[in-house]
Structure 1
Amino acid sequence: MLEISQRGQAMPVSPFRKLAPYAEAAKAQGKTVYHLNIGQPDIQTPPQLLEAVQRAHIGVLGYSHGAGTESYRRKLAAYYQRTGIPAQFEDVMVTTAGSEAILFAFLTCLNPGDELIVAEPFYGTYTAFAIAAGVKIVTVTAHIEDGFALPPLADFEAVISPRTKAILLCSPSNPTGYVYRRDELEALLGLCQKHDLYLLSDEAYREYCYDGATATSALSLPGSEQHVVVMDTISKRYSACGARIGALVTRNQQVWTAAFRFAQMRISPPGLGMLLGEAAAELPPSYFDETRAEYQARRDLTVRHLRAMPGVSCPVPGGAFYVIARLPVDDAQLFGQWLLEEFSHENQTLMLSPANGFYQTPGLGQQEVRLAYVLNQRDLEAAMVCLAEALKVYPGRVELAEVQLSEAHAS
């Protein structure tokens, strides 16, 4: 009998798309569905990006260098330098979205059977990349009670084994919005230096930190040269998810060279996407002021509504555009399905991501959801009203002990 591979059988359903069939059915019934399940911003893609493609005189849309066009790599390096990251042109490899950068990092830095330490909850697709690369994810757990702050360093050290080859972080975090402080990053880098590990740093949301905070890149830390691999993308930074342009950035020449061999398998990254990327890299830093303020306003609206709902707990995210909330429900996945199948308020409902898909430890996240505050404030307000009304009538509502959020991360 023909069978698919063990990898194919183990590949999980996307945690932010698993309820999509129910959303499609709800729309077919005429309901308005507010999508808070996925990080697809409705912020306008900067017109300059699209104009760059429209103005291009392209006779033949051919292959580029496997690491991307030199012009884009140089402009991207200049962008990194403006943000305090000492990356040179030779350190930058253009990838087909941040997804490919993550996969290349796993394939380059770890062997099949090696272990990768990640704080949970984590970006659910890491699991898929780990399965594809034959890598085992080992978790330490962050908790909603302290705002999903970095777990104690001792927790990381306790799970280091002879098979451990890397620690993976995402800051600002998808799915929690937590922003790692510089001293926390330095501590993680010190642990990697002590145990001869790679530090893989997903920095897709670098520009979106709130309340005056800024993100620190792991590659900007002294002593990071051999240990740090940054995985990046323009998708969220410029609301250009469809461009599928990312980057792998490292000052470790051996890592870069090995990753480039993987890059040669797909010949080159998307040519039109790189034209968009070049235009994005030329935007002034002031571009982010307006979008950052808008996301912060959306965050404030979302958190204000959530905290006004009886039985709901959530920290205040410091960055990105996600919040994890604990709801007074028996099971967040069942609740999410019920929202789409059976509930509507003024013929409207919402789609969310059950948070158990962002944890690896069985049982965790069962009453938590990730909400992406990527919609305009009017639609976001309507979605929050729907959620509040749904919680009043959900038949699986349960009363939870109130979560005490630490002052350091609750406001």
Structure 2
Amino acid sequence: MMNMANPSDDPVSLSHELVKDWFAALERIAGGEQLERFLEAAGVAPAMLARPGARIAGEQVIAFYQIAAIATGDEMMGLWSRPVRSGSLKLICRSVIGAPSMATALNRLAQVWNLLLDDYQLIFSEAGGQGVMTLAPRAADAPLNRFGQALMLKLAHGVASWLAGHEVPLAGLRLAFPRPSFAADYAVMFPLQPTFGGGPSAIAFTAQTLARPIMRKEGEVQAFLERAPRDWLFTTSMAHVLALRVRHFLYSGPSGFQAGLAETAEHLAMSHRSLARRLAAEGVSFQQIKDRLRRDAALRRLTRDHEKIDALALELGFAAAPVFHRCFRNWTGMTPAQYRRMAQASRGARAEEEAASRGARLAEGEPSRRAHAAGGPATIPPR
């Protein structure tokens, strides 16, 4: 049975559909072959993405972000019409670190971003005690990149959370596009349910957040940049979505994946009928939550570990290995063994490439990637 110390350990994954706009943007600026190299370097076999229902593990998403940003020299990786040059996020962090309040910091963040973006502008306003950051198009025909819109708002939330010293709650979140088929995935990125359409994308901060003092010092900027986006891309909040609280209990509770609806409901201090009814209102069932968690845990374990697949099936709560094989094929379009071979081959290729890169840098007299990164893209940690 698995145990999870905190929600950030959850083996989350994202639908390929959610990140497809991101990949398309990268392909436009770097080419198809380079995109495949980025994917393979992050441990993602490009062939996996052609499968129906393809998903990418959270750790692979983070690695891909870091690889693509440093390789392209564009910290937004082609998501906007003008490249966001290396060092931009460092400039933003340094502009907000000395603000007297969170409201001032968010206003400064918007002002700096507006020097960098052509097709959209960030507008920070205060009304009714809340602070609203709106991503407004500068022209009616501004391109609508769904991943880019979500990422920009998530970055604003991430910077605010870093300044506060903890993940801050949100009072609202609107995404400008119609509700997509992968809408459930936004629950692992933001600490509340988004609404879709009805205006430009926007994120609202509570009055309590606006009044918070800035907790960070200048000397902490580099550590934040080196870990990006690990500290802010995925939410650690469980309170905003009941389905996430159920998922957390299944992953960390005493019975693990063996827990049923009744035990979970008891843990959450409600009847099993009430739990089922409230989950249905969120558009999900208890079994769907369990199956999605099993899927994400399997993706992580098959990428990382070499344990026998039959043993993994039992650990994930399946009655028998053939049942796990059948479910995994439905999730990914391939068997667990096929997925493991493709994922671990990509990891091996990445390790070889990094070893060769280290050797080349040493031969050139460069002691480490940290020294190189100090003057380059600030969002990429040393490897």
TM range, normalised to the smaller chain? under 0.3
TM-score by length of 1: 0.25
- Greater percentage in helix: 2
